[in-house]
Structure formats: C-alpha cells, structure tokens
Amino acid sequence: MFGYGYGMGMGFGWLWMLAILIFTISLVLWIVKSLFAQSNVQNETAMEILHRRYAKGEIDKAKFEELKNDLLESNRARV
C-alpha cells in the first residue's frame, strides 16, 4: 500500500535462508563423507579381516587357524 510490498514477514526471512543454507551444506558434507567411507571398506579381503581380528585379540589362535584353513580351501575350490 505504501510501497513496502510483502514486508510483513520479512523480519525473519534471513533466519529461514540461514536454516536452508546450513541444511544444504550439511547434506553435501554427509553425501561426500558417505561416498568416501564406502570406498575404504571394499578394499579389504577376507584374509586381511581375519588377520586384523587375530591381531586385535578378537579370536584365539585355534579359531584363526580354523578360519584361515577354511578360506584357503574355499580359494582352492574356486580355482
């Protein structure tokens, strides 16, 4: 009416823009992080996982040898 246009709700417009900006940046960072996290997991073989678990003490020597033999036998069966 007096040249102010749609000024009624503009007092908090910056707050909505800030919220949208934070959401967009967070979404992009989450996507990038999830893409790089998946690439590291795919490079580890079953034997490497077994060695890592044995080194951490998650499994004892008998279980390690049993699982190692199972893996070696399954590899021989494929060839």
Q: Structure tokens of 19?
A: 């919220």
Instruction: Work out the end-to-end distance of the chain between its first and last CA atoms, rounded to an integer number of angstroms.
Output: 83
- How many domains, in total, are found in the chain? 1
Does residue 22 lie within any of the structural domains?
no
Assigned domain for 24 exists: no
Asked whether residue 50 is assigned to any structural domain, the reply reads: yes
- Flag whether 33 is in a domain: no
**Domain assignment present for 52:** yes
pLDDT per residue rounded down to tens, the chain (79 residues): 555 556 555 667 788 899 999 999 999 999 998 888 765 556 788 899 999 999 999 999 999 999 999 999 988 877 6
Residue 75 belongs to a domain: yes
Domain that holds residue 68: 44-79
What pLDDT is attached to residue 35? 83
What the block records as the tokens of 1 is: 């009416």
- Structural domain contains residue 18: no
